[in-house]
């Protein structure tokens, strides 16, 4: 009796929509991140239809170059918010680091040492905030608010007038434009070392959050700190570490921003902590903690940057509308996050 070979069963290929639906049903916390990507794509389409010359290499280049420091800030803020905390000091850290860095550079200090010190100032600020939160049980809002005032005061103590970075300073090399694609006319794809640094920071943060024990601890703290302690995770050390990371990245953001503009003031960075928070929230990081994605925060930062580009292209919209629109988008995402959180509960 001959065996009859069974015909192979052919399954229909899974469509992109079905993949997204399965992803959302299995992990609803990605909904805000998907929404931010949809908004970003929608803004690009609207800008191309309404103003033209949005979908081109030069626009992408300017978007990355002008927002490299915001991306770095948003990455640091993502770490903090995932644990259920907040860092209000990053804007003041940028002011203090940039003013101190420019003054030391102009005094003849080694550029590499200056950059290290600028990042170190941020890391020290984050360490103080982390210690206050960990060992003195100070609420993150209060601890980082105190550091915000302290940083701004120290920056004003150093200088109350704009400090110009010397034209021949090696720090300016971080903003040297590198042509990647030679396009027609001025439509070139251009990046800078600052953009490359921002990309490296994003990739490193993604690896730490999703591939290391420290990253799992960060998420566990946001979910339930007591449960994380019972699991034997290094909760206290990690809580301090996330603020050190946020502060150090704020110092790095100060380096990138100063290299591009070549100036520093004690009023630099006012409100930037809110931009970083907005970028993280728009990118899908939940303010109550436990959920968030570094890549989503990058999209959130690009949404804010593209919104500024579109308002500038329009010409008839007052610049003040940027804040209003940002507030409206932020409100929508907070409500969306609340709906997702309730569904998971």
Cα distances from 175 to residues 70, 124, 200, in angstroms, run 15, 26, 16
The set of residues, in sequence order, having a beta carbon less than 8 Å from that of 325 and lying 6+ positions away, is 307, 311
- 259 φ/ψ angles, rounded to the nearest 5 degrees: -65, -30
135 inside domain: yes
15 inside domain: no
12 inside domain: no
- Whether the per-residue pLDDT at 228 is higher than 60: the answer is yes
29 inside domain: no
The answer to whether the Cα torsion of 166, 168, 169, 175 is positive or negative is: positive
Look at residue 213 in the predicted model and tell me its pLDDT.
95
* Rg of the chain on CA atoms, in Å: 22
- Whether the per-residue pLDDT at 203 is higher than 50: the answer is yes
Condensed to tens digits (0 to 9), the pLDDT of residues 326-340 reads 888 888 888 877 776
247 inside domain: yes
Task: Say what the pTM is.
Answer: 0.90
289 inside domain: yes
**217 vs 315: which has the higher pLDDT:** 217
Look at residue 126 in the predicted model and tell me its pLDDT.
97
Mean local confidence (pLDDT), 285-314: 89
How many Å apart are CA 210 and CA 203, to the nearest integer?
A: 11
- Whether the per-residue pLDDT at 135 is higher than 80: the answer is yes
Look at residue 18 in the predicted model and tell me its pLDDT.
67
Range from 32-41, 42-51, 276-285 carrying the lowest mean pLDDT: 32-41
For residue 45, what are the domain limits? 34-344
- Token match 């993604």: residue? 206
The DSSP result for 297-315, as a single string, is HHHHHHHHHHHHHHHHHHS
How many Å apart are CA 89 and CA 143, to the nearest integer?
A: 9
Look at residue 2 in the predicted model and tell me its pLDDT.
47
6 inside domain: no
Neighbour tally for 157: CB within 10 Å = 11
- Whether the per-residue pLDDT at 6 is higher than 60: the answer is no
- 55 φ/ψ angles, rounded to the nearest 5 degrees: -85, 80
Are the CB atoms for 316 and 50 separated by under 8 Å?
no
Domain count, the chain: 1
Are the CB atoms for 39 and 299 separated by under 8 Å?
no
Look at residue 286 in the predicted model and tell me its pLDDT.
86
Provide the CATH number for the domain around residue 336. 1.10.3470
- Token match 């590198």: residue? 178
Average pLDDT, the chain: 88
Range from 9-23, 60-74, 287-301 carrying the lowest mean pLDDT: 9-23
9 inside domain: no
Q: Which two tokens stand for residue 190?
A: 């251009």
- Token match 């909904």: residue? 31
Look at residue 1 in the predicted model and tell me its pLDDT.
44
CA atoms within 13 A on the CB side of 24: 13
Look at residue 338 in the predicted model and tell me its pLDDT.
74
- 287 φ/ψ angles, rounded to the nearest 5 degrees: -65, -25
């Amino acid at each position: 009796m001959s065996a009859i070979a069974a015909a192979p069963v052919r399954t229909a290929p899974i469509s992109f929509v079905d993949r997204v639906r399965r992803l959302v049903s299995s992990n609803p916390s990605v909904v805000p991140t998907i929404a931010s990507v949809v908004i970003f794509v929608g803004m690009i389409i609207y800008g191309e239809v309404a103003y033209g010359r949005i979908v081109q290499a030069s626009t992408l280049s300017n978007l990355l170059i002008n927002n490299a420091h915001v991306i770095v800030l948003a990455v640091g803020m993502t770490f903090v918010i995932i644990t259920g905390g907040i860092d209000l000091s990053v804007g003041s850290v940028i002011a203090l680091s940039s003013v101190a860095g420019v003054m030391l550079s102009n005094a003849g200090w080694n550029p590499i040492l200056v950059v290290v010190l600028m990042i170190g100032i941020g890391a020290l600020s984050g360490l103080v905030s982390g210690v206050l939160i960990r060992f003195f049980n100070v609420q993150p809002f209060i601890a980082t608010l105190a550091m915000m005032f302290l940083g701004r005061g120290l920056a004003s103590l150093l200088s109350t007038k704009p400090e110009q970075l010397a034209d021949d300073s090696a720090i300016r090399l971080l903003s040297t434009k590198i042509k990647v694609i030679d396009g027609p006319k001025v439509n070139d794809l251009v990046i800078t070392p600052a953009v490359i640094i921002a990309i490296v920071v994003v990739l490193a943060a993604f690896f730490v959050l999703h591939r290391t024990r420290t990253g799992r601890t960060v998420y566990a703290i946001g979910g339930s700190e007591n449960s994380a302690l019972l699991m034997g995770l290094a909760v206290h050390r990690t809580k301090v570490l996330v603020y050190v990371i946020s502060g150090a990245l704020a110092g790095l953001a100060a380096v990138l921003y100063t290299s591009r503009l070549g100036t520093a003031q004690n009023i630099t960075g006012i409100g930037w902590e809110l931009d970083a928070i907005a970028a993280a929230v728009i990118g899908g990081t939940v303010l109550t903690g436990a959920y968030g994605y570094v890549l989503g925060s990058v999209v959130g930062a690009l949404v804010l940057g593209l919104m500024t580009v579109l308002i500038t292209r329009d010409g008839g919209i007052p610049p003040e509308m940027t804040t209003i629109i940002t507030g409206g988008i932020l409100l929508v995402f907070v409500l969306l996050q609340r709906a997702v959180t309730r569904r998971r509960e």
